[in-house]
Chains A and B, each alone.
Chain A
Amino acid sequence: MRYLLLFLVAFQSHAQISDFDHINFSKSDQIALMHKNEELDNMPELVYNLTSELDTDVERFRAIYMWVCHNIANDYTLYLKNKRKRNKYKNDSIKLKAWNDRFKKDVFRKLLKQEKTICTGYAYIVQQLANLANLDCEIVHGYGKTSMTNIESLDPPNHSWNAIKLDGKWYLCDPTWASGIPEPETNIFRFDYNDGYFLSNPKLFIINHFPQDQKWILLENETHSFDEFLAAPILYGKAYTNLVEHDTPKQMHHLLHKDEKISFKYQLQKTINVESVSFLIDDGYSNKRTKPNSISIDEQSLTLEHQFDTNGFYDVHLYIGDDLISTYTFKVKG
C-alpha cells in the first residue's frame, strides 16, 4: 500500500530534477570541470571524455550540460545585431531567411573557434553533444520572457532551449540562461551558473518559456495559452533556485482599490525564514524596501498578503534574502 501511494505521488509530479534525488551529480560536475578549456574541434572525443566514466544517462547528460554552461560564453553584441535584423525583416520572409542563412554561418564559426554563441547555439551544442552520447535530445524554439523583453510588442520568437529524454520521460532545461548573464552596464558576458534551469519544473518553466510547438510545454491535462504567457508575472533566474511553483498571482499587471487585499502564493524548494521575505516597491519616485502585510510559511508553502494605503502606480519586486524572484505592477485607485 505504501509503495502504491509512493507510486501515485511519483506519477502525479511532473518530470523534473526531483525525479533524480537519488543521484549525486558531483562526479559528473567534476568531470565537466576537469575538461574545462577543451575545444570543440573533436566533439566525439570530448563527449567520450565527458561521459565514458558515468553509469546513467542523467549523469552523462549532466556532464555535457555542465561543460556547455561553463565553457560557452553568450555573445551579447551578436544577440543585439540579430535582434535588430530579425525585427527589420519580420514581415519579409525571403529577406529573413537570407539574413538567417548568413548569420547562421557566423554563429557556428564563432561557436567552434571562440566558444561564443547566442541561445540557439547553446541549444545546438547541447543537442549535438548529447546525440553523440546516444541521448535523445531536442531543440525547442519559442518565446523567452525576461524583464528586458518587450512582451507587449510580440517580438518574433526570441529564444531556444532543450528537451532531453531520460528513462523514457522528457525533461526541460535552458543552457543559455543557466550559463550566466551579460553585465547590465557593459553588456560583457559573465559566467554565473544557475542550477535551477537543469531539468526544471515545467510549471515554473511555462511562466517564462512558451514553445512554438506546444507539445514541449510538457504539462499533460493542462492548457496554457500564449495570452496567459504574455500576461504572466516576470520571473528572474533566482526564482528557479528558490521556488518549486509560482501559484498566484497569475498576472503581471493589477488594478486595485485602495485597501484591497492581494495575495501571493508560492511553493518553496526549502523552508525559509519569514525574515528573509521582502518587497522592493518602486512608486516612480523612489524604491522602498518593505515587508508584505502578512507572511505565512507552512512547511514549503509561502503565502503573502498585501494592501496599498495610498493611490499610485507601483512596481513590486519580491525578494527572498538577496535573491530577486519576481515582479508585478499595481495601479491603486481610491
Chain B
Amino acid sequence: MKTLTIKKITQLLGIMMITALFSNPIYAQNKDVASSTVTSQDITIKGKVMDENGPLPGVNIVLKGSKTGAVTDVNGEFTFPKSLSSGDVLIFSFLGYDKQEIKIDGKTTYINLLMSNDIIEIMGAPSTDKPYKSKRSN
C-alpha cells in the first residue's frame, strides 16, 4: 500500500512536470487570446495624409507584418480595408518621404498624418557598352 502511494505520487509528480514543460507555450497562447479579446475592438481606421503643401495622394499604408494595405486617394484620404486592434502598427510610406509608423491605440479611429521630405541625393550614371577611348594628343 505504501509503495503504491509512492508510485502514485511519482506518477502525479511526473504528470505535473510534464504539464510544467508544456505550460509555457500554452500560457503564451492564452495570453495572446486574452489580450486580443480585451483590447480587440475591431477598429476601422480612416485618415488623411498631408505634406507641407497639402493632401498627398498615392501614399502606401501597410499593416506591419502583413501584406494588407491601402493607398490614399486624390484627397489624401484612406479607409484601411481591414479592422484593426490596438497595438497594430500602420506603416506609411511614399517615394521621397520619411517612412512613418503609427501605432493604433484603441482610442483614435481617424489619423491625421503630416509626412516630411526625406533627404535624398539624386544621382544617376547610366550603364554603357561604348568601349573606352583614350584621349590622345596625336
**Docked complex Cα distance between A147 and B126 (Å):** 11
A128 on interface, CB distance cutoff 8 Å? yes
Contact A41 B136 (CB under 8 A): no
A234 on interface, CB distance cutoff 8 Å? yes
Provide the residues of chain A in CB contact with B132, threshold 8 Å: 147, 234, 315, 317, 327
B21 on interface, CB distance cutoff 8 Å? no
Interface-central residue, B58, B124, B126, by most chain A CB under 10 Å = B124
Contact A120 B69 (CB under 8 A): no
User: Nearest Cβ in chain B — how far from A45, in angstroms?
Assistant: 7
Contact A44 B126 (CB under 8 A): no
From A8-16, A153-161, A162-170, A242-250, the one touching the partner chain is A153-161
Contact A43 B128 (CB under 8 A): no
Contact A146 B125 (CB under 8 A): yes
Q: Which of B102-117 contact A (CB under 8 A)?
A: 117
Contact B121 A157 (CB under 8 A): yes
Choice from A43, A108, A159 contacting B71 with Cβ under 8 Å: A43
Choice from A119, A134, A177, A284 contacting B65 with Cβ under 8 Å: A134
User: Nearest Cβ in chain A — how far from B98, in angstroms?
Assistant: 12
Q: Hey, what's the 0/1 contact readout for A17-46 against B, CB within 8 Å counting as 1?
A: 000000000000000000000000111110
**Docked complex Cα distance between A119 and B127 (Å):** 10
B2 on interface, CB distance cutoff 8 Å? no
Q: Return the chain B residue nearest A156 by Cβ.
A: B123
Contact A105 B93 (CB under 8 A): no
Q: Hey, what's the 0/1 contact readout for B67-94 against A, CB within 8 Å counting as 1?
A: 1111100000000000000000000010
**Docked complex Cα distance between A258 and B131 (Å):** 25
Provide the residues of chain A in CB contact with B126, threshold 8 Å: 74, 76, 79, 118-119, 146, 176-177, 181-182, 189
A62 on interface, CB distance cutoff 8 Å? no
Q: How large is the interface on A (under 10, 10 to 19, 20 to 34, 35 or more residues)?
A: 35 or more
Contact B134 A313 (CB under 8 A): yes
Contact B129 A45 (CB under 8 A): no
Contact B130 A148 (CB under 8 A): yes
Q: Return the chain B residue nearest A111 by Cβ.
A: B95
**Docked complex Cα distance between A302 and B131 (Å):** 22
Provide the residues of chain A in CB contact with B134, threshold 8 Å: 282, 284, 313, 315, 329
Q: Which of A62-111 contact B (CB under 8 A)?
A: 74, 76, 78-79, 82-83, 86, 100-101, 103-105, 107-108, 111
Provide the residues of chain B in CB contact with A120, threshold 8 Å: 120-124
Contact A146 B123 (CB under 8 A): no
With A148-B130, A236-B129 already in contact, 16 other A-B pairs whose C-beta atoms are closer than 8 Å? A41-B71, A82-B123, A118-B123, A119-B126, A120-B121, A121-B124, A144-B125, A146-B125, A158-B124, A181-B128, A189-B126, A194-B127, A284-B136, A313-B136, A315-B132, A317-B131
User: B residues within 8 Å of A by Cβ?
Assistant: 58, 60-62, 65, 67-71, 93, 95-96, 99, 117, 120-134, 136, 138
Task: Enumerate 15 A-B pairs (CB-CB under 8 Å) in ascending A order.
Answer: A44-B60, A44-B69, A48-B67, A52-B67, A78-B124, A104-B96, A108-B95, A128-B93, A132-B60, A147-B131, A147-B133, A160-B121, A160-B124, A176-B124, A324-B131
